[in-house]
Amino acid sequence: MKKKLMMMVLATMLMLALVVTASAATLYYVTANNVRVRSGPGTDYDILFHNNRGAKVYVERTTNGWAVVKLAGAYNQDGYISTKYLSRTKSGSNVTPSKTSTDTTPQGDYKNFTAAAYNVIVNPTNNYVNMRWEASKTSQVRKVYYYGAKLKVIAENAYWCQVMDESTGEVGFMLKSLLLRVEEEKNG
């Protein structure tokens, strides 16, 4: 009887270990101060608390620009953080170019973004293109990209693209005129 009970306990522990391993979350860093963790995926949801730059969060999945993070302790629920405030690398939030970009494209409308899904390469008129926190040439630079860097457009308007660097998970905004759309290679 004891042996049978021990085998059941071990089998249960093994199954739990497999479930925990299968649902492992990915480590991200918060890239700004006073970032809100909300009770749902949108700005209309309650604010649960705030995180500051450098805080570690474990993202289970993303949905429509929101990262789902498991909250521990008293919350015992999912929290939501806008993906524009997260980076896979801790240093990704503090990159500043050595000089100011000479972009002459109008800044355009910062609203009215529509979802998109296509690949681009960075095609600067200068030496580099700034990935910015917001769709504005006066917004803080998040990261600098050079000619040929591959990115994925996830939203766009007339002048700006919200892009994702799939190699690092970073998301930001770039002027559409400095990106060149590329078609995916098709086999067969």
Q: How far apart are CA 17 and CA 97, in angstroms?
A: 45
Between 22 and 152, where is the model more confident?
A: 152
Kindly state whether residues 77 and 99 are assigned to the same domain: no
pLDDT, tens digit (0-9, with 9 covering 90-100), for 100-150 = 344 444 444 556 778 888 999 999 887 889 998 888 888 788 889 999 999
**Domain interval for residue 158:** 95-182
Query: What is the percent of the chain where pLDDT is above 90?
Result: 14
Among candidate residues 66, 92, 118, the one where a domain is terminated: 92
Residues 6 or more apart whose Cβ sits within 8 Å of residue 47: 36, 37, 38, 39
Residue 185's Cβ-side half-sphere holds a number of Cα atoms within 13 Å equal to 1
Question: Mean per-residue pLDDT for 24-44?
Answer: 84
C-alpha distances (whole Å) from 53 to each of 28, 80, 168, 170 are 11, 16, 17, 15
Kindly state whether residues 81 and 30 are assigned to the same domain: yes
Q: Please tell me the predicted confidence (pLDDT) of residue 90.
A: 67
> What CATH number has the domain bearing residue 52?
2.30.30.40
Kindly state whether residues 141 and 101 are assigned to the same domain: yes
Kindly state whether residues 75 and 146 are assigned to the same domain: no
pTM of the model: 0.45
